[in-house]
Amino acid sequence: MTRSGWLWTLAVVVTVFALAWQRMTGPTYPLRGHVVLGGQRIALKLLRSHGGAADQPVRIVAPDTAVRGSVQWRRFPSADAWDTLPLVRAGDTLAAALPHQPRAGKLAYQLRLARGGERVVFPAEPAITRFKGDISPYVIIPHLLCMFGGLLLLMRAGAGALAREARYPTWARRGVLLFLLGGFVFGPWMQHQAFGDWWTGIPFGWDLTDNKTLIALVAWLVALWRLRGGREARGPVLAAALVTLVVFLVPHSLFGSQIDWTKAGGPAS
């Protein structure tokens, strides 16, 4: 493989790792685990994000018909009393539905399962799920493509600067263009559809997804300024690539939009 091929491979690996890491460690990624009842292992998957106008489903595959259970839930954050929904069996599945909430509304919920005299609770601390509006595929698909392509080219620019490759300024400029489209055009558009806000980072809030995108952009604008007029700027480009990698390792959706039920008041649906 040529040196360019190795550099592209490195850029792809770093990009895929960073995007997968931030998504899988974020607070909206499904919570997975298992419990054991009657000597049988029951795999569990709790959703922590729900889009659209319908209630959020809670489903458990438990073929043993002696297994029963319920879901305890309340608005988050709030001092509401816990409510209980029975898990209704249909064949091998136990199911319930958390009541739909307005955009950015959150619920805390927890499973309570039983078989005979055995009792289990999952998870130990209630899961938190956030409701959002429907997002058009014509917005989310370009957002994802631009963010992946932009991050890939920016990582390639950093690798090229490290390897003293001549074309790294080209990758930097193209990467910033895609990054601008993904993070500052389609990203806010997607957030508006999901939560009703275009931007919740500085100076309007502390949404880490918005803020880390802004930090990365500032780093690259500095690097592009240093590259002006065909100047050599390996150091600034490499620094911008490292800043981008670090901020993209921050879990996705931390400190995102949410309704504070302690202030909003009103009963749960």
Query: Helices (DSSP H) in the chain: which residue ranges?
Result: 3-24, 137-162, 168-181, 187-195, 208-226, 234-248, 261-264
Check: CB of residue 14 under 8 Å from CB of residue 245: yes
Number of structural domains, the chain? 2
Relative orientation angle of helices 168-181 and 208-226, to the nearest 10 degrees: 150
Is 172 in the same domain as 229? yes
- Please report which confidence band the pLDDT of residue 253 belongs to, taking 50, 70 and 90 as the band edges: low
Is 110 in the same domain as 139? no
Over residues 69-96, the pLDDT tens digits come to: 999 999 999 989 999 999 999 999 999 9
Tell me the residue range of the domain where 152 lies: 3-26+135-248
Is 44 in the same domain as 175? no
For the cut 90, the answer to whether the pLDDT of residue 266 exceeds it is: no
Is 199 in the same domain as 148? yes
Nearest-angstrom CA–CA distance, 37 and 118: 7
Is 112 in the same domain as 148? no
Token code pair at residue 25: 């460690």
Over residues 153-195, the pLDDT tens digits come to: 999 999 999 998 888 999 999 999 999 999 999 999 999 999 8
Closest CA to 172 of 244, 111, 122: 244
Is 58 in the same domain as 97? yes
DSSP 80: P
Phi-psi region of 52 (alpha: psi -120 to 50; beta: other; left: phi over 0): left
Is residue 257 in a domain? no
Is residue 255 in a domain? no
Residue that finishes a domain, picked among 69, 103, 132: 132
Over residues 30-78, the pLDDT tens digits come to: 999 999 998 999 999 999 999 999 999 999 999 999 999 999 999 999 9
Is 217 in the same domain as 161? yes
Residue that finishes a domain, picked among 109, 132, 155: 132
Supply the pTM of this predicted model. 0.85
Check: CB of residue 199 under 8 Å from CB of residue 227: no
- Please report which confidence band the pLDDT of residue 237 belongs to, taking 50, 70 and 90 as the band edges: very high
